[in-house]
Amino acid sequence: MVSITNIWTSIVEWFQDKVDRRRLIIGFNQSAKEAFINGTAPVMLEARVSKGNKNYKHQFSDIFNSGFRIKAMTGYQLSKKDTILIGEVILSNTLLVRRLVVLGFDTLEVCSDVGTHGCQWKLDEFKVIGQGGQNV
């Protein structure tokens, strides 16, 4: 009986995680849109789920889509410096990194809407960085 409950909980949690992932992406995109309209951000950012890097897997990784991709709608190829800067801001936010890790993301990708180059980070390595961070 307990096992059946466990299985049921796993199924419910799987759906809950999917909802939370979706909510996180929508929240990010909504804030990016507002920042662009307000003029705080000169470029609109868009978050989406990607396949991720299979070498970056960890215990919470999603089987298929484990990448958190941020696309800058610049209209030109983003410089490496700017790409790294956006990535570093994301990675310095411990709360976001830890949330991404438990929601099944293992790769952070930053790229622009034009060109084929971008940067990837292994999220698992950054989950304890910052103040008050506890290891997941």
Q: Which residues sit at the interface with another protein, rule CB under 8 A?
A: 3, 6-7, 9-10, 13, 17, 20, 24, 27-28, 30-32, 34-35, 40-43, 45, 59-60, 85-86, 88-90, 92-93, 95-96, 98-99, 101-102, 131, 136
Helix, strand, or coil (residue 122): strand
| Per-residue burial over 22-44, b = 16 or more CB atoms within 10 Å of its CB, e = otherwise | eebbeebeeebeeeeeeeeeebb
Least distance between another protein and beta carbon 93 (Å): 6
- The tokens describing 105, both together, are 């993301």
Least distance between another protein and beta carbon 127 (Å): 9
Cβ closest to another protein, residue 35 vs residue 119:
35
Amino acid at residue number 6 = N
Least distance between another protein and beta carbon 132 (Å): 10
Q: Give the largest CA-CA distance in the chain.
A: 58
